Amino acid sequence: MLKQKRFWLGALISLALLVFIFYQTDPLQVWDALKQAQYIFLLPALAFYFAGVAIRAARWHFLLRSIKPIPTRELFRTVVIGYMANDLLPARMGELVRAYVLGQTEKVSRAATLVTIVVERVFDGLTMLTFIVAASFLLHFGDETLNLRIRLVAALFIAAIIALTILAGMPRRVEKFAGLFLRYLPETPRARAERLTRSFLSGLGALRSPVDSLAVFALSLLAWLCETSMYAVIALGFNIALAFPVFLLAAAFANLVTIAPSTPGYVGVFDAPIVYTLVAFGINQNLATSYTLVLHAALFGPVTVLGFFYAGKIGLSLTQMARAENETAPARTRDAEKMV
């Protein structure tokens, strides 16, 4: 029932945001803008996008290195499959699919793998806020209170990174501290909680090295700069002339909003922030909408096709991916038990 409620909530949010996008547009003008666009710019745009995906695979290599060193090319395949699952399955199932695939192909602890994915998301959030803060200095928002709030949220994310780094650097002390509270639990749930604590700390292994932490953040910045470059290049095909910091802001805004429930592929929750940002900087609503439709299609289509190709090579079906949540949950417990 909860899963059904989550699905329908996501569908409702997506529908509401699509209404927000289209209620002020003229379909004929949107269609005209789509016909006049220069789609040759999709080629360099997709090159930037897949360069960003490759950099994310390299980043994941750093995060997994303390658990098991896995070649970046193998992780690239898994990342692409995860993106494809996010585009086709609800509730960001791609993250669980990534853990499932790595557990099947590389025999890596799924519990620890999921922790590395959580760390990825934290660094992604920090990168998005870095973009917003940079844009707040380079662009004129006209609202100093908004600037201060943005910088405060960024400071909180930085504090979260520091806290995770501290936890990663003292695993034995964290285990002892957790044990002070866990000892009051009955024996079976206590043992399970202790194993999950060890899995969590194992997944934070990369953060024990300052060099690796800096490398992960640098790779996060580079990956998102590649994706933002994709946004800017596609805009050239629509004769949208805006400063690069505007696209930094649009990318950050859109990717932070995709945290909200939505349909698979982030319909509406990705598009509305892009349109809103472009219109706020003087772009016609019809032109902004046509651009966003092409941008979303470019982000959705190629990686989904490539994901199906990679999934087929390892014999993974969409049905198996849809079951990843059910299969990953007991596997997380088994994996944690092996780490004792």
| pLDDT tens for each residue of 222-264 | 999 999 999 999 999 999 999 999 999 999 989 888 776 667 7
Question: For position 179, what pLDDT does the model report?
Answer: 62
Q: Please, is 308 exposed, middle or buried when counting C-beta atoms within 10 Å of its C-beta (0-12, 13-18, 19+)? A: middle
> Rounded CA gap, 13 and 268, in Å?
8
SS3 215: helix
Q: Which residues contact 265 (CB under 8 A, 6 or more apart)?
A: 86, 87, 88, 296, 300
Rounded-to-integer distance, Cα 337 and Cα 328, Å: 14
**Both tokens of residue 287?**
């032109």
Which residue type, as a one-letter code, is found at position 63?
L
| In the chain, domain spans | 27-338
Residue type, 230: M
Q: Is the pLDDT of residue 328 over 90?
A: no
Within 10 angstroms of residue 311's Cβ, the number of other Cβ atoms is 21
- Rounded to the nearest integer, the mean pLDDT of the chain is 80
Is the pLDDT confidence value at 277 over 70? Answer: yes
CA angle, residues 132, 254, 301, in degrees to nearest 5: 135
pLDDT band at 2 (very low <50, low <70, confident <90, very high): very low
Buried b / exposed e over 33-56, threshold 16 CB at 10 Å, is bbeebeeebbeebbebbbbbbbbb
pLDDT digits (tens, 9 = 90+) for 290-318: 999 999 999 999 999 999 999 999 888 87
What is the predicted pLDDT for the residue at 340?
Answer: 38
Q: Is the dihedral of CA 216, 220, 221, 226 positive or negative?
A: positive
Q: Is the pLDDT of residue 269 over 70?
A: yes
At 191-230, the pLDDT tens digits run 666 666 655 555 555 556 667 777 888 999 999 999 999 9
- Cα separation, 136 vs 130, in Å, equals 10
Q: What is the 3-state secondary structure (H, E, C) of 4-34?
A: HHHHHHHHHHHHHHHHHHHCCCCHHHHHHHH
